[in-house]
Structure 1
Amino acid sequence: MVDSLPADTLPADTVPIAVPVSRDSMDAPIHYKAKDSIVMQVPQKQIFMYGSADTKYKETSIKAERIKINQQTGIMEATKWVDTAGKSYGHVEMTDHDQSFQSDTMQVNINTHKAKIYHTRSQYGEGYIGSQQSKRMADNTIFGFKNTFTTCDLDTPHFQFRARKIKVIPDKLVISGPANLEIEGIPTPLFIPFAIFPITQGQRSGILPPQYVTNQQKGIGLENGGYYLGLGEHFDLTMRGDVYSYGSWSLTASPTYRKRYKYNGGLNLSFANTRFGDPAVKSEFSTSKDFRVTWNHSMDSKARPGVNFGAAVNFGTSSYNRYNVYDYNTRVNNNIGSSITFSKTWIGKPYNLTLGLNHSQNLSTRDVSVSFPDGTFTVNTIYPFQPKEMTGTPKWYEKIGISYNTVLRNQANFKDSLFGKQAMFDAMQTGMQHNIPVSFSIPVFKTFTLSPGINYTEYWYTKKFIRKWDPAKDNPGLGTKGAIDTSYQAGFFTARDVSASLSLSTAMYGMYTFNKHSKVKAIRHVMRPTLSASYRPDLNPNLYKELQYNKEGDKSMVSVYDGAIIGVPSPGSFGGLNFGLDNNLEMKVYSKKDTSGNHERKIKLLDGFGINGSYNLVADSFKLSTFSVYARTNLFDKLNISASGNIDPYQTDNRGRRIDKYVWQQGKISLGRLTNASISMSTSFQSKDKKSQSKEKQIDSISNIQNGDAAFAAQQRQLAMVRNNPGEYVDFDIPWRIDLSYSLSYTNTIIPDSGGVVKRITQYVSFNGDFSLTPKWKIGLNSGFDFTNMQIAYTNMYISRDLHDFTLSINLIPFGTFRQFSFTINAKAGLLRDLRINRTKQFYDL
């Protein structure tokens, strides 16, 4: 049997009939549902939904306990409902695109997209707006009547602005007329004529309001006021300024630039003019004109593989920090520096090039050192006798490696007052050093490694230091006649050095085990002795000459290149031994936390401790060098300890000059005289963070942001604000925290002229931390103690109170050259960051 269908009986030229559509029909379907029931009145064209009703029309959805739809008028009405006790329950929620509203009653015209909402509350960014009545227009603009605005997320907010009229332009602004601030529902005397709250994300230009301060030196002032100018996704500019009643002022321009996956950076140009005294009294009046330049630039590693350019510049006058910087870390740091580097690595080839500019500056002594251009070119180790394809065990000569390294240095050391003057250029030194090492290593006796090597170094100079004793020259240090006169001879000069070495190294292990019932399972000691023999001939016999340095006629060997920036070959020849011993000490203890069957945990007792020295067999005197000793460890992963020192094994005469006799030849059991030593310790403790996991995720997300992104720039500005006002940015999730560090240095110097012994001990301890008196109150302290001068170091104390929407902080620097007191109440929300009350007083002891 075959199934068949009849052929199409319509004529080919038949015209389709248009079906008329009702005028009040919707232009899109309405999807609706309800938990309780749905009642449809067909003649009246109405729909009633009861119990968790939910409707969706295009991009608009409404949820309520009761919804009524009138198809004739196109009005959708949503309301709460009343239970048998007469109490209303439920709420109306409307979502349209990215906007959401909560209210008691809502009427929406489906055709015109207009709506009237009663007793509504909606969120825009960090702000919450409540209105008794509001109208939503077709373009999503909202007009509110009897409104409140707050950033508090509680149903009954701690504070709010109350305004009669308000207008919301979605994704742009919230604009209100006159508004009154209420705190805990109580109106305050604070009124504002109008308010504009931005609710946009991203870059927006605008005014940066200043803050009021009182400064003993500068008078009443306004600080950090200015303007932010957004110039697109690749560039922006922030201008800030300070002005004071006594005539001082400062201006800072901070442009930032970025191009994703290419480069990013930021620049700060700061100028300040600080006035001292009364202009009417010229003898007591002076000014300090200062500047500071900082620049940071980084290049994405994927932009140009093998090429990198970076900059970290911090340069300025020595007195800029004294009068214009108030944060703790900057004021206690007297050293600043800069680095600009360009590097290139030839991919697939052993060549590397680095060019740079470096700058270091001591703000106390006003010494400046600038190196430019500064370059290094290296050829990584190559093996010329190694075949392209290795087969079997390599021959000894196939392990011979040769490399090359050259360094170019141009450096000037001068006082900051000479910057840009001829004296700065006269102090410029230029030098170049070439180094060619040849080395290889072979195993011997199974546990030893033998490493022969040859090293050739050549030095190029452009200046000689001509020094001579002048008995008629004034000596300002001693206030007498007689001093060393130094002059320079320009030209091209060379020196060279060559050495051959043979080293032997190994590692020895020792283990002491305890009985099985002891908590300490074992202690392991690792020793790594090294012994090397080297020979260096004297290729520069005329490089060193005797120079008289005092009136008594005492002399010392000095080179014409002493003080050169690339160094100078050592005097004489060397043929001797170099020795060293490094030790490591570990302990195994019983641990319940170990999930393995051994239940053991390793503890490092000493990461390393040892001694180094050398013995010159061909020297005519002082064959044994000084001993260098060191130790370092991290006990229990909490206490970091490092120590180092130098021991001189030779005796001295009554004038402090070394004599060629060992200290132990006097019958003393000693390696020698301790000439210098230092030890430092640091530790940190804190209670468990209640929100550590969420914060770690946030830190990870921040670390993934490129340095030049606007978000990163904001993080850097926030960090600067934290340093300036630590009390405003405390972490209330950590109940207590303390950081401790201690440093001690010792020097034992003998003055050759007088034979006097100068022993100097410096000790310093620093501590900072905070603790919570209650979950909402926190006290913090940053300070230290200088045992040398027996005085308390720069100290900063603060008290903070978490007010949910606001933070109250009191910052105090109680003593020292720079003293300050500040009281601040500021809103937490970024939207209201300029809503703050600040009273700051600053005092100087110049």
Structure 2
Amino acid sequence: MRTNLPYILFILLVIFFGNSAHAQEIDTITRPRIPAVEENEPQPIDSIQLTEKDNLRETDSMQLDSVKPKQSFLSSDVNYSAKDYIRFDRKNNRVYLYNEAEIVYGDMTIKAGIIILDNTKNEVYAFGIKDSADAYTQRPVFTQLQNTVEPDSIRFNFDTEKALVYNSRTEQGEFKVKGEVTKRENDSVYYMKNVKFTTAPDIENPDYYFFARKIKMVPDKKIVTGLVNLWIADVPTPLGLPFGYFPLTDERASGFIIPSFGDNQNRGYFLQNGGYYFALSDFVDLTVLGDYYTNGSYGLRFESNYANRYQYRGNASFRYEKLLNEERGFPNFSEQSIYNLRWTHTQDQKANPSSRFQASVNLGSSTYYQQTINQTNTGNFLNNSMNSSVSYSKTFEGDPQVNVSLNATHNQNTRTQEINMTLPTLQGSVSRIYPFASGSGTKKGIIENINLQYNIRGENRFRTTDSLFFKPEMFENMISGVQHTIPINTNFKVLNYFSVSAGTNLQENWVFKTYEKSYDAQRQEEVIDTVNGFDAYRTYNFNSSIGTTIYGLFKFNPDSKIKAIRHVIRPSLSYNINPKFDQFYDSYLIPATSGLDEKTVKYSRFENTLFGAPSRRYSSSVGLSVTNDFEAKIEAKDSLAEEPRKISLLKNLQFSTSYDLAADSLKLTPVTIRGTLPVVQDKFDINFNGALDPYALNNKNQRIDKLNINNGGSLFRLTRANVSFGYSFSSSDFTGGEKNPDELENETFRNGGRPDDLFGKSMDQDGQFYDEYEEEEEEEIVENDTERYNYKIPWDLRLSYTMTYDNATRNSEISSHSIMFSGNVELSPRWSVGASSGYDLKNKGFTYTQLRFARDLESWRMTFNWTPFGNRASWYFFIGIKASVLSDIKYDKNRERDRSL
């Protein structure tokens, strides 16, 4: 409100009050009492908004050109309102606003129970009011831009734009700040006295806080303090600093990461996970971490996350460790270097529908996950392989459609340290073409359904070991090739019940390196010579199949709970011809030696090339496969349901075998059996498979061309069998809750392990377990004691069972038999426990076992990770503040496993 105070007070008095009597004045501004209102006082006015122009119109209808108005002390309009009344005191030149009062001045807003505007001092005072229960309510709320302060009372001066705030409460980033007296210097600087600041949710009763006698606060930027010390549960601790600096920005900022301290019996004292965080931009960051042990061991890690909304996101890390065992000069001293490279990249599906780039890389030393001194994923040491894949695909729309992809793959066996790598693989395909199809779009008969396709694949393949990875020897053994494939197929119906398909596959393979073999009579050994240059061979085959579907239905009594059982049979008969290609085979002669006759050895120069040698054996085989499904209709649980409920009794029970008409012996292949037994519909299935061999064994346990039943045995010999199941369920299955996994955010999965905790969980540097699912928001903790311990206890359980029977050579043994399990239970909203373990039923012993405990201390987090026995026995304890701004205030202690074991 821009105003000439004498005129305004006079006009408002005449217009709004007339002859009304004076109400009792409020003499104090520290704790005003609510004034009494006389009966002849006029009705309260909700809001008044007056400007200088309005004052002039009320004073005189004539324009006052010769009178220059007095300059206002206010730089913008003042808008104010109140729920009960607005009263003007001309004696003391004040305006009183009562109940839900509000003043808006520029970018500043004050809300309170009582607001007093003093036009003499150009100041405003704001207080709360007492309700019928004598409780202090409607505390002032001072808001300027994005900053909000909630004190007991406010005193603000319009001239200097400075303010005194008593018992203010404000939130700055993750901090909640309460000051006894606050002086507002300007809109960006506040000085405060006797201040508590904490990240606890309740500033009135925090479980911990920092107490400072004097501080300077720049909203959304920083808090600078003098002497500050830590209080826990209102008890002062000796932990303090002569001064402090606390950043308040909500944006990511670069800064140091404080390391944790510990000791190891083999490597001495150490500092772990210390380094620096670089907030490079809004799209990418970089974390540099390091470890150092007093015996000279050290580790470095570089980790980066990047994201571009609606385009792509990913993360990358490189980890290197130099490990020294014992001290130099000791007889058992050893050293080794291990490393690991990991990269994950995903592209948003809507970013480019016609092209896609994705990557999942995990490669490095085979012993990295077993030997690392800073393990970030406990479950990964059980992995036997590391795999990588980087691919780019592009689709060219048209008729026919063309698809092109370029990818690189890597597979590494961590036990044998063998590495197979393709760098790169180029694949292209042209969609199916129907050259004889009619223009109507529908295809009928054998001719119109004839279709062909073209595929091309070019590849460079490397086979090496861990010690030769990316060394010159690795590239010397590279093999390359290009494969062209043209499948031609057709399908049609016979007698309306049988589906027939037939086709041929034409293939041409190009290689750039072949191998010639000869025999060195002098050294009496085979000699292999490498021949560099282009070479090729062509193959073809023929395949056909006929199948149908047979339905069988058995109905029960209408009063029975089981209404009907349906049996679905899908028999399929196939015939395949694979010609022999002798033209691509050569031979060499091994001369007769003492006791041995002359021998001719046939070989193909394409052996050990990328696609291998063509077959030199003609086969003409007939295959038979029968798949069975058993379903039942039972009485519905809901009595109002019109249809009975359908359940599955046995799924995909399949029997398959083949008979080679062109073979000299052992024409019949073993009968394979596989199927799924549903236990809990759509939840729990038992998978089984096995092999039945019709041929007998000789005394050397070798297969002979004699049926087992004709050799005094049964019709078939069970040579192999396997039973396995995996079951995962939780309390959310019974309450309708659901969690969506994000594999990109799962540290276990990114390291090549399982996305669940069946092999245990690991803790990050902030003492938090890597969970199976990353949740965007934390669940609200129930504070009602009656709800704290009830039947709605969240829990989850995972089971994995496998048993393998082997009897291929009359050994009749169970080669593997184990069960693994993991589970988590929230005993209360703040207590959770978990365990991962298993038992080897064959070797009679427990597998890797881990116990986990976590306690939510509201503002703090406490976790304990314990492996009680085994060669990886260890434990890790952590307690620290959860807020990221104070994550360096922590205590952690761990006992690493004894690596001498």
The two structures have a TM-score, normalised by structure 1, of 0.86
Q: Does 2:323 match 1:274?
A: yes
For residues 603 and 724 of structure 2, the distance between their equivalents in structure 1, rounded to whole angstroms, comes to 35
Q: Which residue of 2 aligns with 1:147?
A: 195
Q: Which moved more, 1:425-434 or 1:499-508?
A: 425-434
Secondary structure of 1:235's partner? coil
Q: Which residue of 2 aligns with 1:620?
A: 664
Q: Which residue of 2 aligns with 1:375?
A: 426
Q: Quick check: which one's strand share is greater?
A: 1
Q: Which residue of 1 aligns with 2:252?
A: 203
1:432-488 Cα distance to aligned partner (Å, 9 max, x none): 332211111112212221112122223334455667999999xxxxxxxx9998775
Contact 1:212 1:840 in 2 (8 A): no
**Aligned partner letter, 1:405:** N
Q: Which residue of 2 aligns with 1:710?
A: none
1:705-744 Cα distance to aligned partner (Å, 9 max, x none): 9x9xxxxxxx9xxx97569956597999853221110122
Q: Which residue of 1 aligns with 2:205?
A: 156
In the TM superposition, what is the alpha-carbon distance from 1:186 to its structure 2 partner?
Answer: 0.9
Q: Does 2:300 match 1:251?
A: yes
Q: Which residue of 2 aligns with 1:476?
A: none
Q: Which residue of 2 aligns with 1:366?
A: 417
For residues 741 and 363 of structure 1, the distance between their equivalents in structure 2, rounded to whole angstroms, comes to 23
**Aligned partner letter, 2:232:** I
In the TM superposition, what is the alpha-carbon distance from 1:56 to its structure 2 partner?
Answer: 2.4
**Aligned partner letter, 1:430:** S
Secondary structure of 1:284's partner? coil
Going from structure 1 to structure 2, the CA distance change for 1:105 and 1:742 (only over 3 Å counts) comes to same
Q: Which residue of 2 aligns with 1:516?
A: 558
Aligned pairs, number: 801
Q: Which residue of 2 aligns with 1:737?
A: 796
Q: Which moved more, 1:492-501 or 1:355-364?
A: 492-501
Match of 2:620 among 553, 569, 575: 575
In the TM superposition, what is the alpha-carbon distance from 1:131 to its structure 2 partner?
Answer: 0.3
**1:164-183 mapped onto 2 (5 Å cutoff):** 164-183=213-232
Contact 1:495 1:540 in 2 (8 A): no
Going from structure 1 to structure 2, the CA distance change for 1:489 and 1:393 (only over 3 Å counts) comes to closer
Going from structure 1 to structure 2, the CA distance change for 1:827 and 1:436 (only over 3 Å counts) comes to same
Match of 2:449 among 380, 383, 399: 399
Match of 1:297 among 345, 350, 362: 345
For residues 176 and 79 of structure 1, the distance between their equivalents in structure 2, rounded to whole angstroms, comes to 28
For residues 724 and 556 of structure 1, the distance between their equivalents in structure 2, rounded to whole angstroms, comes to 66
Contact 1:119 1:133 in 2 (8 A): yes
1:416-437 Cα distance to aligned partner (Å, 9 max, x none): 1122344423432223332211
Q: Which moved more, 1:135-144 or 1:488-497?
A: 488-497
Match of 1:784 among 838, 843, 856: 838
Q: Does 2:597 match 1:538?
A: no
Contact 1:678 1:746 in 2 (8 A): yes
Q: Which residue of 1 aligns with 2:865?
A: 811
For residues 770 and 858 of structure 2, the distance between their equivalents in structure 1, rounded to whole angstroms, comes to 13
**Aligned partner letter, 1:604:** S
Going from structure 1 to structure 2, the CA distance change for 1:703 and 1:293 (only over 3 Å counts) comes to closer
Contact 2:767 2:879 in 1 (8 A): no
For residues 220 and 313 of structure 1, the distance between their equivalents in structure 2, rounded to whole angstroms, comes to 33
For residues 689 and 52 of structure 1, the distance between their equivalents in structure 2, rounded to whole angstroms, comes to 48
1:614-661 Cα distance to aligned partner (Å, 9 max, x none): 212222322222322211354322213222233332222222332222
In the TM superposition, what is the alpha-carbon distance from 1:594 to its structure 2 partner?
Answer: 8.3
Q: Which residue of 1 aligns with 2:273?
A: 224
In the TM superposition, what is the alpha-carbon distance from 1:612 to its structure 2 partner?
Answer: 1.9
Contact 2:378 2:762 in 1 (8 A): no
Secondary structure of 1:137's partner? strand
In the TM superposition, what is the alpha-carbon distance from 1:786 to its structure 2 partner?
Answer: 2.7
Q: Does 2:692 match 1:641?
A: no
Q: Does 2:472 match 1:428?
A: no
In the TM superposition, what is the alpha-carbon distance from 1:319 to its structure 2 partner?
Answer: 2.5
Q: Which residue of 2 aligns with 1:800?
A: 854
Q: Which residue of 2 aligns with 1:357?
A: 408
Match of 1:69 among 97, 112, 117: 117
Q: Which residue of 1 aligns with 2:818?
A: 764
Q: Percent identity?
A: 31
In the TM superposition, what is the alpha-carbon distance from 1:537 to its structure 2 partner?
Answer: 2.5
Match of 1:653 among 685, 695, 698: 698
Q: Which residue of 2 aligns with 1:345?
A: 395
1:19-58 Cα distance to aligned partner (Å, 9 max, x none): 6444346443333332333211235431112223233223
Q: Which residue of 2 aligns with 1:286?
A: 334
Going from structure 1 to structure 2, the CA distance change for 1:525 and 1:85 (only over 3 Å counts) comes to closer
Q: Which moved more, 1:286-295 or 1:142-151?
A: 286-295
Going from structure 1 to structure 2, the CA distance change for 1:38 and 1:263 (only over 3 Å counts) comes to closer
Going from structure 1 to structure 2, the CA distance change for 1:735 and 1:299 (only over 3 Å counts) comes to closer
Contact 1:523 1:587 in 2 (8 A): yes
**1:6-45 mapped onto 2 (5 Å cutoff):** 17=65, 20-24=68-72, 26-42=74-90, 44-45=92-93
**Aligned partner letter, 2:552:** G
Q: Which residue of 2 aligns with 1:60?
A: 108
**1:484-503 mapped onto 2 (5 Å cutoff):** 490-503=532-545
Going from structure 1 to structure 2, the CA distance change for 1:407 and 1:393 (only over 3 Å counts) comes to closer
For residues 423 and 400 of structure 1, the distance between their equivalents in structure 2, rounded to whole angstroms, comes to 48
Contact 1:435 1:455 in 2 (8 A): yes
For residues 244 and 93 of structure 1, the distance between their equivalents in structure 2, rounded to whole angstroms, comes to 53
For residues 793 and 483 of structure 1, the distance between their equivalents in structure 2, rounded to whole angstroms, comes to 48
**Aligned partner letter, 1:682:** G
Secondary structure of 1:329's partner? helix
Q: Which moved more, 1:647-656 or 1:463-472?
A: 463-472
Contact 1:116 1:136 in 2 (8 A): yes
Contact 1:31 1:57 in 2 (8 A): yes
Going from structure 1 to structure 2, the CA distance change for 1:59 and 1:723 (only over 3 Å counts) comes to closer
In the TM superposition, what is the alpha-carbon distance from 1:150 to its structure 2 partner?
Answer: 0.9
For residues 628 and 399 of structure 1, the distance between their equivalents in structure 2, rounded to whole angstroms, comes to 33
When Rg is computed on C-alpha atoms for both structures, the one with the higher figure is 2
Q: Which moved more, 1:115-124 or 1:739-748?
A: 739-748
Match of 2:148 among 73, 80, 100: 100
Going from structure 1 to structure 2, the CA distance change for 1:640 and 1:177 (only over 3 Å counts) comes to farther
Secondary structure of 1:296's partner? strand
Match of 1:679 among 713, 719, 723: 723
**Aligned partner letter, 1:530:** S
Going from structure 1 to structure 2, the CA distance change for 1:758 and 1:23 (only over 3 Å counts) comes to same
Going from structure 1 to structure 2, the CA distance change for 1:726 and 1:661 (only over 3 Å counts) comes to farther
Going from structure 1 to structure 2, the CA distance change for 1:163 and 1:483 (only over 3 Å counts) comes to farther
**Aligned partner letter, 1:747:** D
Q: Which moved more, 1:409-418 or 1:76-85?
A: 76-85
Q: Which moved more, 1:565-574 or 1:814-823?
A: 565-574
For residues 778 and 312 of structure 1, the distance between their equivalents in structure 2, rounded to whole angstroms, comes to 33
Match of 1:413 among 437, 444, 463: 463
Q: Which residue of 2 aligns with 1:8?
A: none
In the TM superposition, what is the alpha-carbon distance from 1:536 to its structure 2 partner?
Answer: 2.8
Contact 1:357 1:374 in 2 (8 A): yes
Secondary structure of 1:103's partner? coil
Secondary structure of 2:464's partner? strand
Going from structure 1 to structure 2, the CA distance change for 1:663 and 1:433 (only over 3 Å counts) comes to farther
Contact 1:638 1:683 in 2 (8 A): yes
Q: Does 2:265 match 1:213?
A: no
Going from structure 1 to structure 2, the CA distance change for 1:760 and 1:563 (only over 3 Å counts) comes to farther
1:492-537 Cα distance to aligned partner (Å, 9 max, x none): 4444332223311111112223333333333222111111223333
- The two structures, once aligned, show a CA RMSD in angstroms of 3.7
Secondary structure of 1:414's partner? strand
For residues 149 and 168 of structure 2, the distance between their equivalents in structure 1, rounded to whole angstroms, comes to 6
Contact 1:728 1:800 in 2 (8 A): no
In the TM superposition, what is the alpha-carbon distance from 1:133 to its structure 2 partner?
Answer: 0.3
Q: Which residue of 1 aligns with 2:382?
A: 332
For residues 327 and 217 of structure 2, the distance between their equivalents in structure 1, rounded to whole angstroms, comes to 53
